[in-house]
A and B are shown apart, each in its own frame.
Chain A
Amino acid sequence: MAFLEIDGLRKRFGQIEILKGINLELEKGGFLVLVGPSGCGKSTLLNTIAGLETITSGEIRVDGRAINDLHPSKRDIAMVFQSYALYPNMTVAGNISFGMEMRGVPADERQKAIDKVAKVLQIGHLLKRKPSQLSGGQRQRVAMGRALVRDPKLFLFDEPLSNLDAKLRVDMRIEIKRLHATTGTTIVYVTHDQIEAMTLATKIAVMRDGEVQQFGTPAEIYNNPANVFVADFMGSPAMNLIPATIGDNGSGLAVMLDREARQPITLPMTNAPVGLAAFKGKPVIFGVRPEALTDPEGAERNASQIATADCHIEVVEPAGSDTFAVTNLGGKGVVARLRADANIQPGTSTPLAFNLTKAVFFDPATENRIR
């Protein structure tokens, strides 16, 4: 039995259904990231776990106990808010101990708990300050301290890094990951940033329009997206989704990619997914991540299926660690990720290696994966 279980959760505001039957579970000590574009219901889902929003139907269980009818303070949860929500009239120490004070913890125990948390988060020197005298990163730490001090069963984070600048965000991301590793707490984390989701999570739930599109480990989500939405949302730069046709080259199936004013590219498939046979002669969406579309020298050595084709390079973007090249296939700009020192010029034709082991196919009508 999982530690956190969400069962058929529905939430309705009037006639509008915000959450349309969510089923999720998370093991003890896991890190669940709810990710999706704004308005997908991820924050609402987190608020229902916290008890700040009521649910229409379904059940939320923590450690085997149904909590969906309990008051937020009775759920044994702690929450870090997007705006940090530090009480402006109290000192840092007052902020951290407010919850304990409300629960009637004696003063000396409160002090001990504050000291312990201050040590973990290195905010000992800030305890006497007011929130207005802290920097963004310090406020973030205090907000986490307020959650940590309660030692709850479940931590909830609502886009905690979205108010920080880019560099600090990376630092705090590592900090949160370290905190999770050392304390072994169970965390539910909401973000719209797919990099945060990939780096932090043990489980990711990709959401859209109040539905979970895919639920799995970061590797599953990244390598085996269930549909076009997940494939497009996760990964940066995004996966290339190229309109293609499935053909037959005599020995097996092949992917045909149209090109402007040139011969179509034909990529033979030796190990195609079973479902692909039904699409022979029909259009599909051919998905290939930029790192699976490289210069032949940079291609993965042990990939079983690599097909090389000459492509016309339109734009070259050197990014330092890599060089990105844009070509046009099937009427769309397609990004290839090459080695930093790849010798490539815009406006010329160059052979690109398609790593077909990593390629995925989607049905253009349903946008679902062809397996």
Chain B
Amino acid sequence: MSTVATPARLPSSGVNVKTVNRVVIYGLLALFALFYLMPLFVMLVTSFKTMDEIQNGNMLSLPKAPTFDPWLKAWGETCVGLTCAGIKGYFWNSIKMVVPAVIISTLLGALNGYVLTKWRFRGHTLVFGLMLFACFIPFQSVLLPMATILGSVGRFGASLRNSVGTSFGLGNSTVNLVFVHVVYGIGFTTLFFRNYYEAFPTELVRAAQVDGASFFQIFRRIMLPNSMPIFVVTVIYQFTNIWNDFLFASAYAGTGDSMPMTVALNNVVNTSTGVVEYNVNMAAAMIAALPTLLVYVLAGRYFVRGLMAGAVKG
């Protein structure tokens, strides 16, 4: 009986329980956030420290004399394997591979989605099902067959160069990577666009048909201008995936001058001549992560909105 004796104090004890709950919840959340952000924090502070400070100081302490040198060294001087010209060349390699791969796979996905929803043909569900299936293929299982295909494409390119004078880029490892990423990206981009276009009013397409617009005119003038949200989602998704890809990059362009950023970063860290330059490694890793970060910051608002529009309605 004594536990319920004083009704006057009940409200205040209720408030207390509430406050305690709040503190526990937010405390835990803060702890998890801290745990999650710790590696990023260590990377950032380390990349601005000198080697002396890293070897003698605390890993978590802020840099006493912040220096930009490790970033400059990572960008222009550090050794990747045997060449010591920094990672800048490989950074551009990645850009040269990612931009065409993202644009081509996104446009093809949009075109597929357009056909699968607005120009339905016999067996369109089967085609879509197979494309969906492409999303679930483990990439390890296609490494060898794809290597064989790229090998024969390369031989064809070489014979073209001998006979015509140019290989049209066939056999070039950047082109190879673009090809591989486009092929394995189409499944996802098609899925995104099909779901978005499923909810896209068909009457607009019909109106354009009556107005005399052709298949591609409808695509370019009606569908694409009204697909901004899903376009952004697809671009972010593809950009992040292709930029971060290590498996295909190391398998098909793991050596030589066209090596992408991810492989180069791995080689920077694994180069074992003398002391391990943690600050340079961290700076290189940060540089490698920047483009995806930038894409999120610039288009992130659309990402959430687009995911809703495409996924939920479809």
Contact = CB atoms under 8 A, between A and B. Distances in A.
Contacts of A85: 201, 203-204, 206-207
Nearest to B227: A89
Interface string A69-100: 00111000111011101011100000000110
Interface stretch (B140-148, B172-180, B208-216, B303-311): B208-216
B207 A73 contact: no
Contacts of B206: 50, 52, 72, 79, 81, 85
B201 A102 contact: no
Contact of B213 (A77, A82, A102): A102
A87 B220 CA distance: 12
Contacts of B213: 73, 98, 102
B225 A79 contact: no
Contact of A102 (B203, B212, B225, B226): B212
A89 B225 contact: yes
A73 B204 contact: no
Interface string B191-226: 000000000010110111111110001000110011
B226 A73 contact: no
A87 B210 contact: no
A99 B226 contact: no
A89 B209 CA distance: 17
Contact of A50 (B210, B212, B221): B210
A103 B206 CA distance: 16
Given A88-B226, A102-B217, A83 B209 contact: no
Chain A contact-residue range equals 20 to 34
B226 A89 contact: yes
A141 B142 CA distance: 56
Contacts of A102: 211-213, 217
Given A88-B226, A89-B226, A102-B217, A52 B201 contact: no
Nearest to A52: B206
A98 to B, nearest CB: 5
A18 to B, nearest CB: 17
Contacts of A82: 203
Interface string A97-140: 01100110000000000000000000000000000000000000
A72 B203 contact: no
A87 B204 contact: yes
B125 to A, nearest CB: 15
A89 B201 CA distance: 14
A79 B208 CA distance: 10
A85 B213 CA distance: 14
Nearest to A152: B210
B180 to A, nearest CB: 34
A288 to B, nearest CB: 42
A73 B206 CA distance: 10
A73 B212 contact: yes
B210 to A, nearest CB: 5
A83 to B, nearest CB: 5
Most central of B207, B217, B226 by chain A CB within 10 Å:
B207
Contacts of A81: 203, 206-207
Nearest to A47: B206
B227 to A, nearest CB: 10
Given A81-B203, A83-B203, A102-B217, A73 B222 contact: no
A72 B217 contact: no
Contacts of B210: 50-52, 72-73, 77-79, 99
A71 B215 CA distance: 12
Contacts of B207: 79, 81, 85, 87, 146
A149 to B, nearest CB: 10
Interface string A269-313: 000000000000000000000000000000000000000000000
A192 B211 CA distance: 26
Nearest to B209: A72
Contacts of A72: 206, 209-210
B209 A73 contact: yes
B209 A87 contact: no
Contact of B201 (A51, A73, A83): A83
Given A79-B210, A81-B206, A99-B211, A87 B217 contact: no
23 contacts: A50-B206, A50-B210, A52-B206, A71-B209, A73-B209, A77-B210, A79-B206, A79-B210, A81-B206, A81-B207, A83-B201, A85-B201, A85-B204, A85-B207, A87-B207, A89-B225, A98-B208, A98-B211, A99-B211, A99-B212, A102-B213, A102-B217, A103-B212
Given A77-B210, A89-B222, 15 more contacts: A50-B206, A52-B206, A72-B206, A73-B210, A79-B207, A81-B206, A85-B203, A85-B207, A87-B204, A87-B208, A98-B213, A98-B221, A102-B212, A102-B217, A146-B211
Interface of A: 50-52, 71-73, 77-79, 81-83, 85, 87-89, 98-99, 102-103, 146
8 residue pairs, one from A and one from B, having the closest CB atoms: A73-B212, A99-B211, A89-B225, A85-B207, A85-B203, A102-B212, A81-B203, A72-B210
